[in-house]
Structure formats: C-alpha cells, structure tokens
Amino acid sequence: MLELIGILVVFGVVMVGNIVFDAWVIHTLYGWFVITSFAAPALTIAQVAGILLVFRGMRGYKLTKDDPEDKKKTGGEKLLKVFGGLAQNFLIALMSLGIGWCIKAFLP
C-alpha cells in the first residue's frame, strides 16, 4: 500500500511539473511573438496553465484497443511507458522553445 502511495505521489509531482513547464514554454513563446507582434495583453504562467488545461480537456482522450502485449507488462513497465510519454512531451516543448529562440534571433 505504501508503495502505491509513493508511486501516486511521484506521478502527481511529475504531472504538475510537466504542466508548469509546458505553461512556462507557452508563456515564453507568447511573450516573444504574440505580445510584440499584436500588442496582446501579457499573461501570467498561472493563466497560461489554466488555458492549457482547458484546451487539453477539450481535446479529449483517444481510446485504443487493448494490446495483448500490454496485458503481459507489469505495473512498473506500464508506469515507465507513461514516464516515457512525459519525457517525449518535455523534449517536444524544449525543442519548440529552441526553435522559437532561433526564429526570435532573426526578427527585427
């Protein structure tokens, strides 16, 4: 039972960290491109995180068919797959920030 609570705590901390990081990336890109180009109002990271969660909720979730290979996996392997997806999202956000930084360097 204690192990399950520990896993849930770690999972929750990672999920919150992922949301905050994604919100920071969007906040930074918004500041670089939208505020300067369109004179839009500045948003805080908390506001961006709220908007991000609304859009993620509206997008919904895709249900997939059960894969027989997934049934053979242990709980730890399934958790590792989830963390792999989070790491992939982290890298995509980091790459978006890097590409945005490169583009910003060429803007007047």
**Where is pLDDT greater, at 27 or 57?**
27
Can you count the helices (H) and strands (E) in the chain?
5, 0
Residue type, position 31, single letter: G
Q: How many residues does the chain have?
A: 108
Q: Average pLDDT for residues 21-38, to the nearest whole number? A: 94
pLDDT recorded at residue 63 = 67
% of the chain residues with pLDDT over 90: 51
pLDDT: which is higher, 29 or 63: 29
What pTM was computed for the model? 0.81
Task: Render pLDDT for 50-89 as a digit per residue (tens, 0 to 9).
Answer: 999 999 888 887 767 767 777 777 777 877 887 888 889 9
